[in-house]
Structure 1
Amino acid sequence: MKKVIYSLLVCFTVNAMVSCKSEAKKETPIKEEVKVENKAAFSLTEADNQINWTAYKTTEKAPVKGQFKKVNITAGGEGDTAKEAINNAEFSIPISSIFTKDTSRDFKIKKFFFGIMDKTELLSGKLVIENDSLGYANLTMNGITNKLPFKYTINGKVFNFSGEMKISDWGADKALASLNEACKDLHKGADGVSKTWDDVAINITSTFK
C-alpha cells in the first residue's frame, strides 16, 4: 500500500511540475518584429518644389510671370543624392494649380489656352539627367510628348532647372492664338500690335529636406 501511495505522489509531483512548466511557457511574451523602413536621403515627394514660368506679351516682349502651385511625383524621385532623386523621376502637374496673382488672368489661361488643347488637365513628364549640367524633360502637353532641354545646378540640397519651351513644338498654335484673342487689348504694346509670344521660360527649384 505504501508503494502505491508513493507511486501516486511521484506521479502527482511530476504532473504538477510539467503543468507549471507548460503554463510558464504560455506566459512568455512573444516579441514582435519591428520593420524599419529605409527612407531615401533625398526625396522629391518631400522636397519643396517650386515651378515658375515666364510668358511674354506685346512686341516689346513684356514678361508675364506665373507658377504651378502643385506637382505630383508619380514614379521614382528618390535617391542617395539629389541627382539620383531627379534622374528618371516622373511627374504630373494639374493645370488647375496655375497661379499668376491675377484671378482673371488665371481663368483666361485655363479656358482659352489649356482649354483649347487636347487632354490637358495635366502636364506630365519624366526628368532625365544627361551629365553634370544638362538634362531634358520628356514633357507631354496637348497629347504630344516632346523633349524640353534644360540646364541645371545642384548646390547642397537645392536643385535648380532652367529651360525654354516653344509652344509650337507641342502643336499648340491654336491655343496660343485663342489666348491672344481673349487678351487682345491687354497684349497690345506701344505700337498698338497685340502679340503673345511662342516661347515660355521655365524655372524649377527643388529644395530637399
Structure 2
Amino acid sequence: MKKIILASVLSLGLITSLSAYELNGELGVKWTGFKTEKKVPVSGTFNDIKLDIKSSDNLSMFLKSSSVSIETSSFESKNPVRNTSIISTLFSLATSKTIKGKILEVDEAEKKLTLEVTMNKVSKLVPMMYEISNGNILAKGTIDILDFDMKSSFLTFAKKCADLHQNKSFSDVNIEFTIPYK
C-alpha cells in the first residue's frame, strides 16, 4: 500500500512538473522598421534586455508575471552607422533611455495578449497575437513611435536618413518577442 501511495504522489508530481511553464533560455526581442516608398523592412534587436518572469503551472499567469526592461543604447541592427544614427536621434531624449514592457492580459482561446509598453514616459497598450511552437511562445504586434511623444526625435531621424530612405521613413514598427520555456 505504501508503494502505491508513493508511486501516486511521484506520478502526480511528475505530471504537475510537465505542465509547468518555466523560462528556458533568454528572451528574444525583434523590431522591424520600414524605409522607402516600397516599405523595405529593416530588423534588429537590443543587446541589453532584462526579463523578470516567474514559473507557473498556468500559461496566462506565467506570461502576466513577466516584466522587461530594455536599454535603448543597446540598439542593434548589425550596422554600426545605423545603430549610431538611431540612438543619437530617435532615442536621444533623456526620457527614452529605457523601454519597459509588461503583459497585462492573456486570452488563451484567441491566442491574444495585451502588452503595456512604456517609452519616453508614455505607456500604451499593444495588442499582440501569439503562437506556441517547439517550446517557444512567439508574440507579434505593432507600435507607432509617434504614440510615445517622440515626434521631434522621429523627424530628426527621418531627416538624417532622408537620402538612405529615399525621403520616406515610417513611424510604425513591428515588434515581436520569443519566450523559450520548458
* TM above 0.5: yes
Provide the TM-score with structure 2 as the length reference. Answer: 0.81
1:67 Cα offset (Å): 0.9
Q: Percent identity?
A: 25
* 1:100 aligned residue (77, 82, 107): 77
**Structure 2 alignment gaps of length 5 or more:** 1-16
1:123 and 1:141 in contact (8 A); partners too: yes
Q: Given the alignment of the two structures, is residue 203 of structure 1 paired with residue 176 of structure 2, yes or no?
A: yes
Task: Give the alignment of 1:73-84 within 5 angstroms.
Answer: 73-74=51-52, 76-84=53-61
1:60-209 alignment to 2 at 5 Å?
60-74=38-52, 76-115=53-92, 117-132=93-108, 133-155=111-133, 157-188=135-166, 194-209=167-182
Does 2:30 correspond to 1:52?
yes
Q: Paired residue for 1:15? A: none
Structure whose alpha-carbon radius of gyration is higher: 1
C-alpha root-mean-square deviation of aligned residues, in Å?
2.0
Q: 1:82: Cα distance to partner? A: 4.2
> SS in structure 1 opposite 2:89?
helix
Judge conservation of contact 1:114–1:120 (CA < 8 Å) in 2. yes
Unaligned 5+ runs, structure 1: 1-38, 189-193
Q: Larger relative contact order (C-alpha < 8 A, sep ≥ 6)?
A: 2
Residue in 1 aligned with 2:21? 42
Q: Does structure 1 retain, via aligned residues, the 8 Å contact 2:89–2:153?
A: yes
Aligned to 1:16: none
